[in-house]
Amino acid sequence: MSALDIIRPRFQQEVLCSAEQLIERFRTYLKSPPEGVDGVVLGDHVVLRIPVGEQHYWSPQLSLTFEQQEEQTLIRGLYGPRSSVWLMFVFLYSTLGAISLFVSITGFSQLSLGIAAPVLWVLPVAGVLALLLFFSAKAGERLGRAEMHRLRGCLLDILAEVPCREAIGKVL
């Protein structure tokens, strides 16, 4: 994997345009987007994503916010999964954490009282399940890599057509 293949999940870039110019460019671009990219503009927030018909469970999206500063605009971007995927992982990790907490309290209390605590076998099982969740997330990240590159290409196309394109930097 070369350095060009790595996409940072979070990035920020300053451009010498106003936020209004950038947002208007995204609105114009998304009225007739190219094949393979869809998106929505909500105030100073833009979300680029894969069209619904082409999405799979691990399809990423690119969230962008624009902050007007003195004579420039700060673009903050985040490549990540859809909110339903985030919610599933938060729910599963929270459930595993809560179960581990209650099992630990119960098991170690029983041990301190001199009672056998077979319930503590749940802790290694929860650890294995947490590792499986982690590795499934990494596998999903690999499955969505080509789509992340497609979203990045779309972003670069949009920014290349903005009148102030000479300010586009190296971070994207």
Give the number of other CB atoms < 10 A from CB of residue 26: 22
- The string of pLDDT tens digits covering residues 24-41 is 888 888 888 777 788 889
What are 114-166's pLDDT values in tens digits? 999 999 999 999 999 999 999 998 898 888 888 888 888 888 888 887 666 44
- Segment holding 80, helix H or strand E: strand 73-81
pLDDT tens digits, 50-65 = 988 888 888 899 999 9
The answer to whether 46 touches 39, Cβ cutoff 8 Å, is yes
For residue 86, pLDDT over 90 is answered with: no
